[in-house]
Chain A
Amino acid sequence: MSCTDHEGVTAGGAVDVTFLTAHDCRALLADGSVSAVELTQAYLDRIAVVDGGVHAYLSVDAAGALAAAAAVDAKPRGGRKPWEGVPIGLKDVLCVKGMETTCASRILKGYVPPYDATVIAKLRDEGLIFLGKLNMDEFAMGSSTENSAFQVTRNPWDTDRVPGGSSGGSAACVAASLAPWALGTDTGGSIRQPASLCGVVGMKPTYGAVSRYGLIAFASSLDQVGPLTRDVRDAAALLDLIAGRDPRDCTSTGLTEPAGVPGRDDLEGLRFGVIKEYIGSACEPGVLEIFDAAVDAVGALGGVCEEVSLPSVVRGIAAYYIIAPSEASSNLARFDGVRYGHRTAQSEDLYEMYVRTRSEGFGDEVKRRIMIGTYALSAGYYDAYYGQAQRTRTLIIKDFEKAFSRFDYLISPTSPTVAFKVGERMADPLAMYFSDLCTIPVNLAALPALSIPAGFSGGLPVGLQIIGPHYGERGLLGAAHALEQRLAVDVVAPVQPAVAS
C-alpha cells in the first residue's frame, strides 16, 4: 500500500524510511524535505540495524551509494530527472560495473563485471542510487534462497521461515524496508513466489519486455528481470524504467505501450478466469481462504469471476524441470575457471582443471540441475525428454490462448503455501520444486503476471497471482491497482532491529 500519509520525516529532520514507497522517496526529494544523501544514509542506517537478522544483502556499497547521492544533491532540484536520488536494491544476478557480482555462487566469488547490465545502465542514467547486491538461490536455482553459497535470508514476517526464492533477498529487502524497491529475476516464479511469501508486490513482465543483457543466464528462454515493490504504482514505474528493446539482446522487444501510472479503482466489464487446477487440494486451506476472499473482492469491484480449466498446467513442473535444467547445463558450461571466477588451486591438465574448478565452485542444487539437463540433452534421450517437454510447452501455450479468448485476466494463488520453515524442504528437491506449481506455466507461455499481497494466514502473507495476455502489462497493473486498494493489506513487516550476527 502506498503510505503517502506518512511524512517520512520527523520534526527533528531525521528520515524514517519504514513506510516509504519509491514514490514517497521521490516526493520527499522533489520538495526538498530530504537530500539524496540523507535518504541514502537513512537506508544504510536501517540496513546496519535490521539486516543482521534478515540477511537480505550480500554486499552493501555504502561509499558508492553516498557518492552517487552527493552527486545528485550537487544538481539544482529543478534540473534533475524524476527518480534521481531514489535508492534501490539489486539481485546479485545482475552485472554492475565495478561491483562484485556473484550469483550467490562460490564459482563467481570476487568477480567484478567490467560492464553494466542494460537494466542497470538504464537505472544509472536515471540517477537511481544502488545500495548493494541482494542474496538469492545460487544461479537463481531454488525457491527459498537457502541455496545461496553465502547466507540464508530470513523472512521478515517470521525469521524462522524462508523468504521464498530465488529473489528472496529482494523480497525480504523490500518487506523489511531495507530499500524502497528492488530488482529481481523470474525464471519459474522467482519474483512472484518470494513476493507472495514476504507480502510485497512482484511482477514478471512479458518475456522480451526487458533486456537480459548482463543478467547472468539460467534458462534463456524463460528468464526475465522485474520489479519487487511495496505497491502496484511503484511496480509500474520501475517496469517503465527498465523495459525496452535492446540491440544487445536480440530476444528483447520492449513493451507495446508504457505501463504508465495505474489509477483504476474498479473492475467493471472485466472477466477473470479462476484457474481450476490451482484451487481445491492444490493449495493449503489457509491460502485458499484468502484467495476466495480475493475472488469476492473482484466481484465487489464489478468484475466477473468464473472457473476455467487449463488441463495442461499440471504438466508445467515436469516440462520446466527438463527445459530449464537443459538450458542451464548449456549456459553454465561457461564457468570453467578460464576467464573469470574460481579456479582450482592444483591441476595437471585442462580437463582436470575444469572438473575440479566446477566441482569446488558449484553447490548441490546447481550440480543437480546441470546433471538433469546434461542427461536430458544427451544422445538417445534428447527427443524423449527435451523434445517432449518443448511440445508440452506448446500445449500449455495453447491452453492459455484458449483461456484468454474468454477472459481478460486469469487468477490463482501465487504460492500453494505460506512461507515454510528454514530447512523444511532442503532434503527433498521435488517438494521444493512444487513451491512454483502456480507460477511456472506463466514463464513457459512467456506471459506477464504479478503477485500482490491478498491477506494473511496464521500471520504470514498470502499473495494473489494475476496473469495477463502478452504485452498486457498496462491493463494488468491497472486491475491489480484496483484490487490492491480494495484489499488494503498492511504490508509493513514487523521486523525487529537486530544486532549483526
Chain B
Amino acid sequence: MISREEVDHVARLARLHFEEDELVRLQAELGQIIDYVKQLSELDLSGLDPTSHAVPLKNVLRADEPITGLSQAEAVANGPRVEKGQFVVPRIG
C-alpha cells in the first residue's frame, strides 16, 4: 500500500508530474509492487552485511597524469540552449 499523499510527495522528489488518471493507476501499480517487495521484511538478515557491490575492489588508483578531455565546444554541442559556450537555463525559483 502507498497513500496518495506519498505518491504526490515521491513525484515531487523525482521531479515528475502526473495527470489525475495517471496518479490513480500509478498508486495502484506502486502499491502492488511495494506489497510484493515487502516480502523481504519477513527474512531474518541480522548478521549479514549489505552488499552494494558484488566484486570486492578498493582504492582503485591511477597515475595522476593529465589527459585531453572534450573541448568546450564538444561538451556543450548537445545542449538544448547554449550561449557563449555556456548552458542557459530558466531562472531559479
| Chain A residue at minimum C-beta to C-beta distance from B2 | A375
Does A388 sit at the interface, judged by CB under 8 A?
yes
Is B84's beta carbon under 8 Å from chain A?
no
- B14 proximity list for chain A (CB < 8 A): 329, 358, 370-371, 374
Q: Is B24 located at the chain interface by the 8 A CB criterion?
A: no
Residues of chain A lying within 8 A (CB to CB) of residue B37: 318-319, 321-322, 385, 389
Q: How far is the CB of B3 from chain A (nearest CB, A)?
A: 11
Convert B21-33 into 0s and 1s, putting 1 for each residue whose CB lies closer than 8 angstroms to a CB of A: 0000010011011
Contact with B along A309-344 (1 / 0, CB 8 A): 000000101110110000001000100111111110
- Residues in chain B near residue A368, CB distance under 8 A: 26, 29-30, 33
Q: If the complex has contacts A315-B39, A370-B14, are A391 and B78 also in contact, measured as CB distance less than 8 A?
A: no
Query: Is there contact, CB below 8 Å, between B89 and A253?
Result: no
**A110-118, A235-243, A282-290, A476-484: which lies at the interface:** A110-118
Which residue in B2, B52, B79 is a CB contact (below 8 Å) of A340? B79
Main secondary structure on B side of the interface with A: loop
User: Quick one: given A343-B81, A348-B90, A371-B10, are A315 and B15 in contact (CB under 8 Å)?
Assistant: no
Which residues in A have their C-beta under 8 angstroms from that of B16? 355, 358-359, 362, 367, 370-371
Interface SS of chain A: helix
Within 8 A of B (CB), among A222-236: none
B contact residues around A337 at 8 Å (CB): 80
Instruction: Tell me how many residue pairs across A and B have CB atoms closer than 8 Å.
Output: 166
How many chain A residues sit at the interface, stated as a range, is 35 or more
For B33, B54, B75, B92, which residue has the most chain A Cβ atoms within 10 angstroms?
B54
Name which residue of chain A comes closest to B13, CB basis.
A374
Interface residues of A in 97-116 (CB under 8 A from B): 111-112, 114-115
A454 to B87, CA, bound (A): 53
- Complex CA gap A371/B18 in Å reads 11
By the criterion of a CB under 8 Å from any partner CB, how many residues of chain B are at the interface?
Answer: 51
Residue B83 interfacial (CB < 8 Å): no
In whole angstroms, what is the CA distance A217 to B93 when docked?
Answer: 30
Nearest to B57 among chain A residues (CB) is A251
A359 to B23, CA, bound (A): 13
A334 CB, nearest partner CB in chain B, Å: 12
Residues in B neighbouring A253, C-beta threshold 8 A: 55, 57
Instruction: List chain B positions with a Cβ less than 8 A from chain A.
Output: 2, 6-7, 9-11, 13-18, 26, 29-30, 32-34, 36-37, 39-41, 43, 45, 48-55, 57, 60, 62, 70, 74-81, 87, 89-93
Instruction: Given contact pairs A321-B37, A393-B50, enumerate 5 new A-B contacts (beta carbons under 8 Å).
Output: A315-B43, A319-B40, A350-B90, A359-B17, A371-B11
